[in-house]
Amino acid sequence: MTLSRMLAVALLMAAVIRAQPPLTTIQDMLYKADGTPFNGIVTISWTSFEAPDLSEIAGQTITVRVENGIFRVQLVPNAATNPLVFYTAVYNSDGRVQFSESWAVPSSLFPLRIRDVRTTLPVVSANDTNAQGPVNESDVIGLLADLGARPTKGPAYSAGRVALVDTLGLLDSVAGNPSDCVHVDGSTGACGGGSSGPGFSDEEVPAGTINGVNTTFTLANTPNPSTSLAVYRNGLLMAAGTDYTLSGQSIQFLTGSTPVTGDSLLASYRLSNSATASSLSLAGPQVLCTSTGTSVTGTSLASMGSCAIPSGALQSGNRVEIQFDYAHQGTASGYTFQLIWGGTTILQRAGTANDAQVTGRVSAGLDQAGAQVSTQSWGTTLPISATIANATDVYANGLTVNLEGALNLTGDTLTLRNFSVVLLP
């Protein structure tokens, strides 16, 4: 081999040895939030990847010192790697890690700023064996066991409903009407029903003449427990055993505590359970149901809204007030609306095609035989009508108030806008 040939080979080998992957310069001025220059170190780490010139870049970590905010580093571009590999930059100042971020460095002949390489993808540690792909659930210690222990959605799960854990441990939703109450077993029903649980009598006025002579007054129920009774005379709490004694439903005032003319008496106490609340004295009106109804477009009478009054909620002497409003869309057909008390139709009227709105008021006064019911109803053109009748439905075990409607011809729509059922003491 000639000397010139040997020299050429040596120069070629030196060029190969000196060859290195392309580098991109990242240069910036770093500041803290208070406007002062950042001083500290930036630790940059990465996993192995292949450079744009096919050079193999081994995983490693470098530390760049930042003084007076001046930052400068040269890195092999990694923005086009497949699979994606990112640089992880960890900023350390004042002896602790301040924050970290991921970088994707593109090829560039000109210096870039940190904002040009920062990526919003999650930061992945260079020591993570899955840094180049998603983390499997099985790779996270205890994750599968924790996922298996959590409740999962059942077939009846629905957003916006009260949650229920069913017999299989699945998370379902409670079924029922918006006005229902939820029981501890997940069942639903009208509020105030049921045969167990405490009942209350609040601000009841004991029966008896207040004249300074009469010392015996009678409650509507027997307090249970008896110690739950609180008796107030002119707003002052009386002391049991000192001011009065209790025997069953009877309050006996003692000497020196006898109510005199002009005094007021009030009593509050608990009952053994809500089933005995049939004789409960109410302190004021109680809303049993209030809601919007549905719409009908058919010619057969159909329920558009109902109120299920529970067992024990009504007693002789109570009064139930019902109010309702219907709206009629269209002018092609007349319509019929009616109100049913238990099994008795107590109101039925026919609106014309021009009746865009109708309204009604019903008052049911309860006695031992049932209810005496009076009604009023009128519409846009429908004249006012008043009726009175008797309904012999047994209410002690509860009953349902049902509002129905139907069109005479198809094509229009009849809507129960709203209704309310209120119990008066």
Mean pLDDT, residues 176-190 taken together: 76
Q: Tell whether the model's pLDDT for residue 123 goes beyond 80.
A: no
* Per-residue pLDDT tens over the stretch 198-239: 577 888 999 999 999 999 999 988 888 888 899 999 888 999
Q: What is the pLDDT of residue 192?
A: 55
- Which residues are CB-contacts of 2 (< 8 A; sequence separation ≥ 6)? none
Strands (E) in 84-149, as ranges, are: 87-93, 96-103, 118-119
CA distance 11 to 17: 10
Q: Tell whether the model's pLDDT for residue 8 goes beyond 80.
A: no
Q: Tell whether the model's pLDDT for residue 117 goes beyond 50.
A: yes
* Per-residue pLDDT tens over the stretch 50-100: 998 888 999 999 999 999 999 999 999 998 888 888 999 999 998 888 889
* Per-residue pLDDT tens over the stretch 302-339: 999 999 888 777 888 889 999 999 999 999 999 999 99
CA distance 95 to 276: 72
* Location of structure tokens 């049932």: 370
CB 151 within 8 A of CB 170: yes
Torsion of CA 155, 158, 159, 161, to 10 degrees: -130
Mean pLDDT, residues 159-179 taken together: 80
Mean pLDDT, residues 235-254 taken together: 92
* Per-residue pLDDT tens over the stretch 194-209: 444 457 788 899 999 9
Q: What is the pLDDT of residue 174?
A: 82
Q: What is the pLDDT of residue 14?
A: 53
Q: What is the pLDDT of residue 339?
A: 96
Asked which of 100-114, 178-192, 391-405 is least confident by mean pLDDT, the reply is 178-192
Reduced to 3 states (helix: H, G, I; strand: E, B; else coil), residue 404 is strand
What's the mean pLDDT when you consider all of the chain? 85
Specify the higher pLDDT residue, 352 or 170: 352
How many C-beta atoms surround the C-beta of residue 51 within 10 A?
18
Domains by residue range for the chain, with CATH: 20-119 (2.60.40), 200-272 (no CATH), 286-424 (2.60.120.200)
Q: What is the pLDDT of residue 2?
A: 66
